[in-house]
Amino acid sequence: MSSFNGGSASFLATSRSIHSGMKLDRTVSNLDKDICTYILDLLRQIDDLSDLRVPTHARSQLQVLAIEGDTAKQILYRDIMAVRRSSPLSSTLLGRAQAVLKVDHALFRLRAMRLNGPVNDLYIPPLAKPTSRSGDNSLFPLMDNTLSCLASACQVLLLLGDSGGGKLAFNLQLENTLWQSYKRDAPIPLHINLPTIDNPHENMIAKRLQQLNFSEAQIQELKQQREFIVICDGYDESQLNGNLYTTNNFNQAGQWNVKLGPTIALDFIQMQNDTSNISNNKRSIASSHQIKEYAEQYVTKVPQNPTVPNQQNWSSDDYMDKSLKINGLMELVSNPFLLSLALTALPMVVRSEMDISKIRLTRVSLYDNFMAQWLESNKLRLQHSRLSSKAQVTFGTLRDADFIQYGIDYQKDLAAAIFQHQAGKPAVDYVHLRESRSWKARFFGLDPQVTLLRESSPLTRSGNQYRFLHRSLLEYLYSRFISDPFDLGDNPTDNDPKAVTPRNILARHPLNQRNIVGERSILQFLAERVNSIRSFKTFLLDVIKASKVDDGVNKAAANAMSILVRAGVRFNGEDLSGVRIPGANLRYGQFDCADLRGADLTGVNLSKAWLRRADLSGAIMGGVEFEELPYLEASEGVKSCVFSSDGKLLIVCSHQCSIDVYNTATWEKKDNLLGKSAIAISPNCKEFANATLNNDAEVVNIESGVGVLILSGHRGSIESICYSPDGNLIATGSKDKTVRMWQLSADVYSVDNVDTADAVHVLRYFRVLRGHSHTVTSVAFSPSGLRFASCSLDKTIRIIDVKTSTVKNILDCAAPVLALAYSPDGRQLASCGQDTDLRLWNTISGNADHFLKGHIGTVFALAFSPDGRQVASCGESGVIYFWDTRNGLFLDVLSGDRYEVNCVAFSPTSNLLVSGGNDNKVQLWKIGDVTTSDTLNNGLVNRITCVDISMDGERIVTGCFGGAVQLWDTLTGKPGATLKGHELDVIEVAFSPNGEQVASNSTDKTLRLWCVLAGQLQCVFRGQDKFGYGLAFAPDGTRLVTSYEKDPAIQFWDTQSGEMVDSLQGHTNKIFGTICSPSGV
């Protein structure tokens, strides 16, 4: 071979000899080894030359050669030219040239491996929502939208979903789809399981490629030359708390070129730039149809084990039939993992001799049955397997000693060790020669018993790494480790609080080793245990009691209280004085009349907790959270507040005519102006209109704070202002009993019937809508802009056609109306006023569909949530109420203001609510899911059929299916006596006027009278041969009035003798209810 000492001339001659003397008639991937060696040797000598002209001339020669000859030879030269000049931090030119020849082959191997890798055969294309607050009508195909996003210019795609929601299955399917369509030089899909990467905040892609056996030279070539689509899994499992996109310097100069990264399932990360948030609430199984489709795939693709009991050739219809009949199962299987869990567990749940309609499954019992089925199946598998003699003896010992229990204990202990030694990070790396003396050997060593139990557990193995099939299994098993019986020594005495749980025992209990308050899934598992294992509930209560005298169990007490509150245990009226529960989560807890004197409540979450008449004197309450955000201080009482349509501005008006404009991103005050509380922001967010002090309205430019138009003509102060949805109209309501409509255009302000308009843009003529006989208090356009509503102190609401100004309807109310609002879809109109009630009107029929009762005192204001599912209201009681607009039911309450709350508004773009009142504050609230705040429950499974409340309000009585009559204490919510005697369903109950007796009627055709104080049956009324629908006491309590099915008669009974004393005839058909006049006449 020629020497290169002659410089560029020698190189030119040599390169031409290569060109003329070699026939490259094979593809690059099949080049003769000698040819590759020869080319690399040339490059090696070029790389060693000090004359920089040589590499330059070499590139020019390669450019000529790359357009001559056959395709294979051209590709060879082009690949060599693609190698960029090496930098001090990169590999040598020689190494990178070698990488070019190998990197495409390595990618080909990676593609083949991933296409043959773990893709879930039981895959149903998931649906997703744009945000967690979006309705079901916004569902879209997740895969289609994700691929569209990949084809766009966005850099980050964020997918959020609950554990078990199918994110991993979707990610693997997405990777598979991208590899199927992969072409050379296209972006490379790379799936990264974050828990398997050491410190993924740095060089994450290189670490993953090293796991896939790429060489350092190949990694450098990919970093310099190629683009990636990074698909990340397990962000929350890795317990990360940073932005992987920024810490890895993606798309920065000299760094990895990443189109989307991190792409999927970074569950709690907030990306700062170029973020496309595809879903905050992925829903993979959306309907019974999809569940049936999944069941059909399950039957087809998962072979049934003939040794598994109760699973004799089940079809998909069998699975669906049993799933539909088991109470609550369909609600549990709303995500793919729980569905697969349920299908596996069903044979263990169902017994041929049981009525499956009476089975009541919870999430924890579903996991219990799955685990038992899994271990039972593996026990039977081992019985029919050929084992070594040593393994056979070990298996026989385990089988005789209860194989399933040993399997559960093994898994519980493994889960506990993972939380203890790895802080819950699910993946465990184990190499026996290196770690045979570590804690891991107990679970992954070579001992025959360990091997059998490990291979019978729901664990997966990838190389040297083990993990449970799903993180929720790890959390379930850790919860079992906590809740299963624990050695607490001798039974303590009730007299000595220190003996409740011996300190040395409780100190090493898992509840005292780890704070699980933030572990939502673990808390939920444990909460369900509370309702099924009475001894566990008793133990938790004892732990809380022990914290009064032992500050070494604070962590256990905080965990215990959080579990009990999550389980719905009520502490109304309980003695909790001196308890130490710092950091506990008491959200939605019931603590009415509780004694919390001297309790350590540091950092406790008390948001939406009930604390009526609770004694908190001397309690330590530093950092207590009531779900209030920092408030905005006002100079005087706040009269009204309104958001702009884009959510970026908040305008606040005070009683003393001050208007403050806030930027909601920073909550800094942009401006301060003068004006009255009637205010509205234009739909384009550029202007706002407000009432002035001289009966006019002014339109103000938000950016400059300068008035651009005055609306003049009202003869009384303006009480309400609103813009039409298109921004072309402004409506004002006034004390002069009129509504005036002002028409605006882009360049010239004008109104109907304008005669003149002066140069300073003062409008003096307008369309006047008359009809109200008192002050107009509120005005609102419908979302379509076709209708307009106004309300007044004259107790009416008038609906107006905007185009013709004709009255379409007049809605009569029982009291002066102070505020109204249209729902976002325009189907409902809500109103409130001085009668303490809210009304939800059907805008089509004009009828009041729902009366919302609960406020104490006048209701000043109301607002619909952006999705229209809730309406919030406030008033002189200082409390904000939430209502379900679909059924009119009370949902929740926010309390915190001691003064009247005058206004309330939802942000249109976030889960934020603002309220303003006479305490000179604008209070900000985070609004999450709201639920009924108080329920009565004593564990009865039968439904309640009827209810009554005593005249003094201190007791409630309920009747149930099955015949039980239950008394309740209304203050504490605790059940009182259960009155038993009816053999069939109770259909009517009633308190006597003095509250000392309860009457009940049943389908067993008996009418019974009970003594409330004694909790005993007092009388069974004689002569009944049918059951009744009506039941009422006379005002003096001496008579009962009843009516009956298929009998148009009303009967009177003496409550002392139990005899019928009178019967009234006259009705010609069934009577469904009776009532006595207050006078008894």
| Nearest CA among 976, 971, 987 for reference residue 938 | 976
* Number of separate helices (H) and strands (E) present in the chain: 25, 51
Question: Is the pTM higher than 0.85?
Answer: no
* Bridge partner list, 628: 925
471 band by pLDDT with thresholds 50, 70 and 90:
confident
The angle at the Cα of 1079, spanning 1076 to 1080, to the nearest 5 degrees, equals 45
Residue 341 included in any domain: yes
Q: In which domain, by residue range, is 162 found?
A: 114-279
> Is residue 763 located within the same domain as residue 744?
yes
The pair of structure tokens assigned to 510 is 């898992």
Asked whether the predicted pLDDT for residue 259 surpasses 80, the reply is: no
Asked whether the predicted pLDDT for residue 59 surpasses 80, the reply is: no
Q: Please name the residues in contact with 726: beta carbons below 8 A apart, sequence gap of 6 or more.
A: 683, 785
Bridging pattern class, strands 188-193 and 227-233:
parallel
Residue 9 has a pLDDT of 38
Q: Which residue has the tokens 């008449």?
A: 613
Asked whether the predicted pLDDT for residue 79 surpasses 60, the reply is: no
240 band by pLDDT with thresholds 50, 70 and 90:
low
Q: Of 248-262, 364-378, 950-964, where does the model show the most confidence? A: 364-378
Q: pLDDT, tens digit, for every residue of 932-959? A: 334 455 444 456 677 787 877 678 888 8
Q: Which among 254, 279, 304 is the end of a domain? A: 279
Q: Which among 249, 279, 309 is the end of a domain? A: 279
Q: pLDDT, tens digit, for every residue of 279-292? A: 333 344 445 666 77
The angle at the Cα of 659, spanning 654 to 660, to the nearest 5 degrees, equals 105
Asked whether the predicted pLDDT for residue 527 surpasses 80, the reply is: yes
Q: Please count the structural domains in the chain.
A: 5
Q: pLDDT, tens digit, for every residue of 698-742? A: 888 888 888 888 888 888 989 999 999 988 899 999 999 999 988
Q: pLDDT, tens digit, for every residue of 151-185? A: 877 777 777 766 656 677 788 888 889 999 998 88
Q: Of 92-101, 262-271, 548-557, where does the model show the most confidence? A: 548-557
Share of the chain above pLDDT 90, in %: 23
Residue 283 has a pLDDT of 40
The pair of structure tokens assigned to 900 is 């009247």
Q: pLDDT, tens digit, for every residue of 881-927? A: 899 898 888 888 776 545 788 888 888 776 778 888 877 777 777 77
Q: pLDDT, tens digit, for every residue of 1013-1045? A: 888 898 888 666 666 667 888 877 788 888 765
Residue 722 included in any domain: yes
> Is residue 953 located within the same domain as residue 995?
yes
State the average pLDDT over residues 230-252: 77
The pair of structure tokens assigned to 1003 is 């389908």
Q: How far apart are CA 732 and CA 714, in angstroms?
A: 9
Contact 228, 190 (CB under 8 A): yes
* Bridge partner list, 975: 968
Residue 601 included in any domain: no
Residue 823 included in any domain: yes
> Is residue 261 located within the same domain as residue 307?
no
Q: How far, in Å, are 246, 280, 301, 433, 434 from residue 274 at the CA level?
A: 12, 17, 41, 47, 45
State the average pLDDT over residues 817-841: 92
What is the CATH classification number for the domain harbouring 660? Answer: 2.130.10.10
- Check residues 678 and 52 and name the one with the higher pLDDT: 678
The upper half-sphere exposure of residue 13, i.e. CA atoms within 13 Å in the direction of its Cβ, equals: 9
- Torsion from C-alpha of 796, 802, 805, 811, nearest 10 degrees: -20
- Looking at residue 897, its amino acid is D
Residue 900 has a pLDDT of 82
- Check residues 246 and 219 and name the one with the higher pLDDT: 219
How many residues appear in the chain?
1081
Q: Which residue has the tokens 């690399």?
A: 40
| Nearest CA among 818, 826, 886 for reference residue 855 | 818
Residue 19 has a pLDDT of 40
| Nearest CA among 341, 125, 114, 97 for reference residue 218 | 97
> Is residue 174 located within the same domain as residue 271?
yes
254 band by pLDDT with thresholds 50, 70 and 90:
confident
Q: Please name the residues in contact with 251: beta carbons below 8 A apart, sequence gap of 6 or more.
A: 155, 257, 258
> Is residue 250 located within the same domain as residue 313?
no
Q: Which among 239, 263, 279 is the end of a domain? A: 279
Q: How far apart are CA 715 and CA 617, in angstroms?
A: 54
Residue 1063 burial (CB count, 10 A): 10
- Looking at residue 669, its amino acid is K
The pair of structure tokens assigned to 262 is 């991190």
The pair of structure tokens assigned to 871 is 């309406």
Average pLDDT of every residue of the chain: 77
The pair of structure tokens assigned to 441 is 């050997």
Q: How far, in Å, are 257, 306, 636, 666 from residue 223 at the CA level?
A: 7, 52, 61, 39
Contacts 24+ apart (CB under 8 A), 659-668: 659/690, 660/632, 660/634, 661/702, 661/705, 662/632, 664/907, 664/912, 667/630, 667/632
> Is residue 146 located within the same domain as residue 261?
yes
487 band by pLDDT with thresholds 50, 70 and 90:
very low
Among the residue ranges 94-108, 484-498, 702-716, 898-912, the one predicted with the least confidence is 484-498
The pair of structure tokens assigned to 194 is 């974050």
Q: Which residue has the tokens 């001799």?
A: 353
Among the residue ranges 798-802, 832-836, 1021-1025, the one predicted with the least confidence is 1021-1025
Residue 564 included in any domain: no
> Is residue 166 located within the same domain as residue 313?
no
Sign of CA dihedral 884, 890, 891, 893: positive
3-class SS letters over 912-937: EEEEEECCCEEEEEECCCCCCCCCCC
Sign of CA dihedral 269, 607, 819, 799: positive
Asked whether the predicted pLDDT for residue 499 surpasses 70, the reply is: no
> Is residue 898 located within the same domain as residue 816?
yes
540 band by pLDDT with thresholds 50, 70 and 90:
very high
Q: pLDDT, tens digit, for every residue of 385-425? A: 889 999 999 999 999 999 999 999 999 999 999 999 998 88
Q: How far, in Å, are 337, 736, 749 from residue 765 at the CA level?
A: 67, 16, 12
- Check residues 789 and 672 and name the one with the higher pLDDT: 789
Share of the chain above pLDDT 70, in %: 70
User: If DSSP codes are grouped into helix, strand and coil, which group holds residue 614?
Assistant: coil
Q: What is the DSSP letter of 497?
A: G
Q: pLDDT, tens digit, for every residue of 512-522? A: 889 999 888 89
> Is residue 690 located within the same domain as residue 830?
yes
Residue 1025 included in any domain: yes
- Looking at residue 180, its amino acid is Q
Residue 142 included in any domain: yes
DSSP code per residue over 739-790: EEEEE--SSS---TT-----TT-EE---EEE---SS-EEEEEE-TTSSEEEE
Residue 812 has a pLDDT of 92
DSSP code per residue over 134-193: --GGG-EEHHHHHHHHHTSS--EEEE---TTSSHHHHHHHHHHHHHHT--TTSPEEEEEE
What is the CATH classification number for the domain harbouring 183? Answer: 3.40.50
Residue 25 burial (CB count, 10 A): 9
> Is residue 275 located within the same domain as residue 291?
no
Asked whether the predicted pLDDT for residue 141 surpasses 50, the reply is: yes
The pair of structure tokens assigned to 247 is 């810490």
> Is residue 301 located within the same domain as residue 381?
yes
> Is residue 969 located within the same domain as residue 855?
no
Residue 409 included in any domain: no
Contacts 24+ apart (CB under 8 A), 546-551: 546/497, 546/498, 546/500, 546/501, 546/503, 546/506, 547/579, 547/580, 547/581, 548/497, 548/577, 548/578, 548/579, 548/580, 549/497, 549/498, 550/498, 550/503, 550/506, 551/580
State the average pLDDT over residues 537-550: 92
The angle at the Cα of 784, spanning 781 to 788, to the nearest 5 degrees, equals 25
